[in-house]
Amino acid sequence: MKFSLQHDLHCHTYLSSCCADPAMTPEMIYQRAKRQGLTVQCITDHLWDADVPGSSDWYKPQDIAHVEKNKAALASLPKEGPRMCFGCETEYCGGGKLGLAPEHFDRFDWIVIPPNHFHMKNFTRMAEVDTEEKAAELFLQRLEEISRLELPWHKIGIAHLNCRHTFKEGDYAKVFALMDEMRLRAVFEIFASRGAGIELNTSGFADGWEERREEHLRLFRIARDAGCRFYLGSDAHSPEAMEVMQARAARVITLLELTEEQRFQL
């Protein structure tokens, strides 16, 4: 059966401070999702729980009270159309430091964890990680550490593996090629057995990505062969990014030869 494209499990509202668009309200996201025929739409604003020490200045305002401002808007939406889920995108900084305390896991329907938001120096990445080789090692370590955390795995998404933030000051696609195959296979086998979702983030498959096609697909192929399941995320910070998700995803799904049985279901 064909992999269904009728869901978006990663989308930002105006409550994410990187989202400059006041139109990105839960109501508007719901309307667009409905028009596209989606059955599930998550909102996943950037989150750092005030109960977890060591926030960055950027993350400090993005606490639970802040992102929960959307809960009332979500509750007031019509019950037909796409199922609207309240999620978050938090951070993992290494050494077991996750930006959401375990006692607050149940306040979210869905939790997206990016293993490679390495543009935030001295927060998610130490400054001495300054080459593609070192970024590849850090990325692997982060995946391995996340796989050993105690998490509600049925509602955990591993975000954007081919994100450009992996190494902005260099050749980020090369980072994916440098990562050790055996260790990747082992860590994706753990994610598969835990039941986590692996994200196909269509912001990472923007025009021109196929010039480095094999690098971009490498981790996803290994994850697929390890038995992982996948979901789509627009990572939209604007209405336009919501609109291009399905067309971009269709191409990636074809190249990865994914079927509906390999789709992660929230």
Provide the binding-site residues for Zn ion, judged by CB under 5 A.
Answer: 18, 114
* Least distance to Zn ion, CB of residue 237, Å: 6
Identity of the residue, 114 or 157, whose beta carbon is nearer to Zn ion in the bound complex: 114
* Least distance to Zn ion, CB of residue 89, Å: 6
Residue 77 and residue 80: Cα distance in Å, rounded?
A: 9
Identity of the residue, 133 or 169, whose beta carbon is nearer to Zn ion in the bound complex: 169
Q: Say which residue the tokens 């390495």 belong to.
A: 118
* Least distance to Zn ion, CB of residue 236, Å: 10
Q: Distances from the Cα of 245 to the Cαs of 33, 61, 134, 200, 204, in angstroms?
A: 11, 29, 31, 10, 10
* Least distance to Zn ion, CB of residue 19, Å: 6
* Least distance to Zn ion, CB of residue 258, Å: 22
Identity of the residue, 18 or 206, whose beta carbon is nearer to Zn ion in the bound complex: 18
Identity of the residue, 114 or 115, whose beta carbon is nearer to Zn ion in the bound complex: 114
Identity of the residue, 18 or 23, whose beta carbon is nearer to Zn ion in the bound complex: 18
Residue 142 and residue 148: Cα distance in Å, rounded?
A: 10
